[in-house]
Amino acid sequence: MPVSPYIHFPGTCRDALALYARAFGGEPHILLRSEAPEGTEPESTQHLVMHGTLEIHGTTVMLADSLAEALVPSGDRISLMVNRMAREEIDRAFAVLAEGGEVLMTPQITFWSPWYGQLIDRYGLVWQLSAED
């Protein structure tokens, strides 16, 4: 049974989904709180993402805007690793994810990967991108 990451955002989920779709391709699926049955969500939260998904290299990543601050990621306890990418895919995705973020390691040859890079995106998530042998 696969494990899928579920990432919470402080009101920036829709923008994050658009960035990740641009970096990795695919079409995000978004369910807004305004689409919940009437009266179940406060008026002030209607614009927020209740549930979103994006397929990234065979893994379904789930995302939402959190109403609980404790669920919003700080980026320092977990990273998202995307393996078996082509070098060109890494360069393209890395450039997109680095926009407004912080580069930790530019894509390069390492002893564990023929092409590997690591960064923190503008939403505070740590990404590791690694090429296949």
| Per-domain residue ranges of the chain | 6-71, 79-131
Q: Measured at the alpha carbon of residue 50, what is the angle toward residues 2 and 28, in degrees to the nearest 5?
A: 60
Q: Which of helix, strand or coil describes residue 49?
A: strand
34-62 mean pLDDT = 91
Give 1's pLDDT tier (boundaries 50, 70, 90).
low
Q: What whole-number distance in Å separates Cα of residue 103 and Cα of residue 118?
A: 7
Q: Domain 6-71 falls in which CATH fold?
A: 2,3-Dihydroxybiphenyl 1,2-Dioxygenase; domain 1 (3.10.180)
pLDDT of 63 above 80: yes
**DSSP codes joined into one string, 78-97:** -EEEEEEE-HHHHHHHHHHH
pTM: 0.88
Mean pLDDT of 5-33: 96
Beta 126-131 vs 79-85: how paired, if at all? parallel
| Beta strand 59-65 pairing with 49-56 | antiparallel
Please report which helix (H) or strand (E) contains residue 132, including its range.
Answer: none
Query: What are 66-93's pLDDT values in tens digits?
Result: 887 777 766 677 889 999 999 999 999 9
Task: Say what the pLDDT of residue 67 is.
Answer: 85
User: May I ask the CATH architecture of the domain 79-131?
Assistant: 2-Layer Sandwich (3.30)
Provide φ and ψ at 113, rounded to 5°.
-155, 145
Express each pLDDT in 32-46 by its tens digit. 999 988 878 888 889
- Residue 73, pLDDT score: 67
